[in-house]
Amino acid sequence: MITRDGLDQIAAEEQARQAEHKQCIRVCTAAGCLSQHSNQVKEALEAAVAEQGREHECHVKGVGCLGLCSHGPLVAVDPDDVLYEHVKPEDATEIVASIGKEPVERIKCPTDVPFFNRQVKIVLENCGIIDPESIEDYIAHDGYQALATALTTMSPAQVIDEVLRSGLRGRGGGGYPTGLKWTTVAKAVSDTKYVICNADEGDPGAFMDRSVLESDPHRVLEGMAIAAYAVGAQKGYVYVRAEYPIAIERLKSAIRAARRAGLLGRNILGTDFDFDVELRLGAGAYVCGEETALMASIEGRRGTPRPRPPYPADYGLWGEPTLINNVETFANIAPIINRGSEWFASIGTENCKGTKVFALAGQITNTGLIEVPMGITLREIVYEIGGGVPNGKEVKAVQTGGPSGGCIPAEYLDMPVDFESLKQLGSMMGSGGMIVMDSSASMVGVAKYFMEFSMSESCGKCIPCRVGTAQMYNLLTKINNGEATYRDLELLKELCDLVRNASLCGLGQSAPQPVLSTLRYFEHEYLDKLIDGPLAMAPAEIEGQEA
């Protein structure tokens, strides 16, 4: 069993061990860089260090995501503070030889650019710094200190109060205040309660949760343990997509290490608090990101949602009160406990505190993982951090929120990014996928793409969603092929309204969203494709329907 002093001792030992090596070469081993063979780069660097006889001073370490995926594989060198891009195994000798001297200019990646210095890192602060496979490295970076503080100096009510005052809102997309959710579960009367981490990152175009789990898995486990202490749960589940093999492996090894260290299991840190975590694999069903469907899937059944209420906070997994939060939400907990709610509340906007991690992708120069304060404008994200659209093209729209979100046209790029503004624009924050489209993208095509997605991911339980999405898909196909009339477009709008209001769960309710938002801003693209053309309709009629 480990106590708080033991934790400090591990941290001190690990820091001393790391200090023995004056230099550290960090190689990104998250999925993006791995697929560009960063493991071979790491081996080559290790060989080069050995060959040049510098093992005693130089340490090669595999770390999580360094952020700029489009320039991978990435390698960072400390304390020279140099970042290398597109590194190949052949470059290893040169890199090692240059340490402490002039960096290798040929592959140097500038770090004093907005992509790096405009970001504010809370969730990702350890990503790319620590070795995700080493619990000691995490502890040496203040890991599990927040859990120790919560268990030994705070009551569960104080923990909840701290989270409430921080203003943290759920990062899974809905933006429900995390503290309120915790309060409800804490109030529920039951001997058995569960904490679930929703890592079923189904939105196509989003990879924030994957990166956090691959880069800093202990941070999520610590957040879950603190949540369990606050609400009175004994058992936790991480529900993670089977499509993320690396994240699964690292989570498994993190859970094992935490159990061995006595940070999960019975009598954690010498207190009478027991908590253990189990991993559950998804199997490729988008609807399982919906909380009631997710719980059905953990129970081993088909992942179909059920009507709410009762909410999971009262009647969740196996009928017991259950707290479900997303990966990024849990990753925010430890910093809030460590640095206090006031510090957290000082970042972001009035109603949206803290930061948000986005996965920047699509037609943009710098693709990768970014973390920005709430309230930053889309323009800053796209043009400054993202470096704009390649080949001198213009941004046409930014898609956020995946199949439940919408396309924000270029003229609204100055809107601040927070839950309310995005909703106002007919899109949503979503889990954090942000896809930039240039002038070559067809908006009808995009709407059709998302409808195909919703149609095939509909679980089939309720008719508005099962049949409605299929009919909307047919109509969109007809429009896209130039075979539709104005009447078809009207039908499509009616269907959007029906499916949105009559579906059982979030999937169906938000399935029309991509159509509605593209209709709102790019209706001319639809009209251009109609047989009876843009001239055949009365403009007043359109406006009336939009309202």
Partner 1 sequence: MRRNGNRPDALIETLHSIQSTFGYLDEPALLYVSDMLSVSPAEVYGVATFYHYFQLKPQGKHCCSVCTGTACYIKGADQVLANIEKTYGIKPGETTEDGELSLLTVRCLGACGLAPAATLDGEVIGNVTVESLQQRIEEVTVHDNA
Tell me how far, at minimum, the Cβ of 291 lies from partner 1, in Å. 17
Q: Given candidates 29, 292, 399, 458, which one binds partner 1 under the rule CB under 8 A?
A: 399
Tell me how far, at minimum, the Cβ of 530 lies from partner 1, in Å. 24
Is residue 277 a contact point for partner 1 (CB under 8 A)? no
DSSP-derived letter for residue 296 is: H
Is residue 230 a contact point for partner 1 (CB under 8 A)? no
Residue with Cβ nearer partner 1 (178 or 297) = 297
Residue with Cβ nearer partner 1 (188 or 360) = 360
Q: In whole angstroms, what is the distance from residue 409 CA to residue 412 CA?
A: 6
Tell me how far, at minimum, the Cβ of 123 lies from partner 1, in Å. 16
Q: Given candidates 243, 320, 380, 490, which one binds partner 1 under the rule CB under 8 A?
A: 243
Is residue 543 a contact point for partner 1 (CB under 8 A)? no
Element (H, E) at 184: helix 178-187
Structure tokens that stand for 356 in this block:
């948000």
Rounded alpha-carbon distances, angstroms, from residue 226 to 101, 330, 379, 398:
45, 9, 36, 36
Tell me how far, at minimum, the Cβ of 277 lies from partner 1, in Å. 15
Residue with Cβ nearer partner 1 (15 or 442) = 442
Is residue 266 a contact point for partner 1 (CB under 8 A)? no
Is residue 433 a contact point for partner 1 (CB under 8 A)? yes
Selected range binding partner 1 among 29-37, 56-64, 90-98, 123-131, rule: CB under 8 A:
29-37
* Continuous H helices in 299-436: 327-339, 341-345, 378-379, 419-424
Tell me how far, at minimum, the Cβ of 480 lies from partner 1, in Å. 13
Residue with Cβ nearer partner 1 (67 or 143) = 67
Q: Which residues of 430-439 are buried (b: 16+ CB within 10 A; e: fewer)?
A: bbbbbbbbbe
Rounded alpha-carbon distances, angstroms, from residue 442 to 293, 303, 512:
33, 33, 17
Query: In this structure, are residues 254 and 221 in contact, taking their beta carbons and an 8 Å threshold?
Result: yes
Tell me how far, at minimum, the Cβ of 397 lies from partner 1, in Å. 11
Site string for partner 1, 204-223 (x = CB under 8 A): xxxx--x-------------
Is residue 75 a contact point for partner 1 (CB under 8 A)? no
Tell me how far, at minimum, the Cβ of 63 lies from partner 1, in Å. 17
Q: Given candidates 402, 430, 464, 508, which one binds partner 1 under the rule CB under 8 A?
A: 402
Q: In whole angstroms, what is the distance from residue 182 CA to residue 114 CA?
A: 36
**Beta-carbon contacts of residue 335 (< 8 Å; ≥ 6 apart):** 122, 125, 146, 344
Residue with Cβ nearer partner 1 (205 or 464) = 205
Query: In this structure, are residues 25 and 76 in contact, taking their beta carbons and an 8 Å threshold?
Result: yes
Query: In this structure, are residues 225 and 275 in contact, taking their beta carbons and an 8 Å threshold?
Result: yes
Q: Given candidates 99, 197, 385, 435, which one binds partner 1 under the rule CB under 8 A?
A: 435
Packing angle between helix 443-457 and helix 463-480, nearest 10 degrees?
A: 150
- Name the residue among 95, 33, 38, 40 with its Cα closest to residue 68: 33
Selected range binding partner 1 among 177-185, 448-456, 475-483, 495-503, rule: CB under 8 A:
448-456
Residue with Cβ nearer partner 1 (202 or 409) = 202
DSSP assignment of 262-293 equals TSSBSSGGGSS--BEEEEEE--S-GGGGSHHH
Site string for partner 1, 111-130 (x = CB under 8 A): --------------------
**Beta-carbon contacts of residue 248 (< 8 Å; ≥ 6 apart):** 240, 242, 279, 281
Packing angle between helix 513-529 and helix 486-502, nearest 10 degrees?
A: 180
Q: Given candidates 34, 74, 127, 327, which one binds partner 1 under the rule CB under 8 A?
A: 34
Residue with Cβ nearer partner 1 (207 or 412) = 207
Binding residue count for partner 1, defined by CB under 8 A: 52
Tell me how far, at minimum, the Cβ of 265 lies from partner 1, in Å. 18
Tell me how far, at minimum, the Cβ of 278 lies from partner 1, in Å. 10
Residue with Cβ nearer partner 1 (156 or 433) = 433
Parallel, antiparallel or unpaired: strands 355-362 and 433-438: parallel
Tell me how far, at minimum, the Cβ of 458 lies from partner 1, in Å. 12
Selected range binding partner 1 among 97-105, 129-137, 356-364, 539-547, rule: CB under 8 A:
356-364
Q: Given candidates 56, 187, 301, 487, which one binds partner 1 under the rule CB under 8 A?
A: 301
Query: In this structure, are residues 194 and 236 in contact, taking their beta carbons and an 8 Å threshold?
Result: yes
Q: In whole angstroms, what is the distance from residue 109 CA to residue 199 CA?
A: 32
Tell me how far, at minimum, the Cβ of 76 lies from partner 1, in Å. 17
Selected range binding partner 1 among 95-103, 219-227, 242-250, 528-536, rule: CB under 8 A:
242-250
Beta strands in 346-492 (DSSP E): 355-362, 368-373, 395-400, 406-409, 433-438
Q: In whole angstroms, what is the distance from residue 450 CA to residue 435 CA?
A: 13
Residue with Cβ nearer partner 1 (153 or 391) = 391
Is residue 83 a contact point for partner 1 (CB under 8 A)? no
Is residue 35 a contact point for partner 1 (CB under 8 A)? yes
Query: In this structure, are residues 450 and 405 in contact, taking their beta carbons and an 8 Å threshold?
Result: no
Is residue 339 a contact point for partner 1 (CB under 8 A)? no
**Unique residue bearing structure tokens 């770390």:** 63
Q: Given candidates 202, 217, 316, 373, which one binds partner 1 under the rule CB under 8 A?
A: 202
Q: Which amino acid is at 81?
A: D
Peptide bond into 312 cis (omega under 30): no
DSSP-derived letter for residue 324 is: E
Residue with Cβ nearer partner 1 (206 or 492) = 206
- Applying CB under 8 A, the residues found at the interface with partner 1 are 31-32, 34-36, 69-70, 72, 201-207, 210, 242-244, 280-286, 297-303, 359-363, 367-369, 399, 402, 433, 435, 437, 441, 449-450, 453, 457, 459
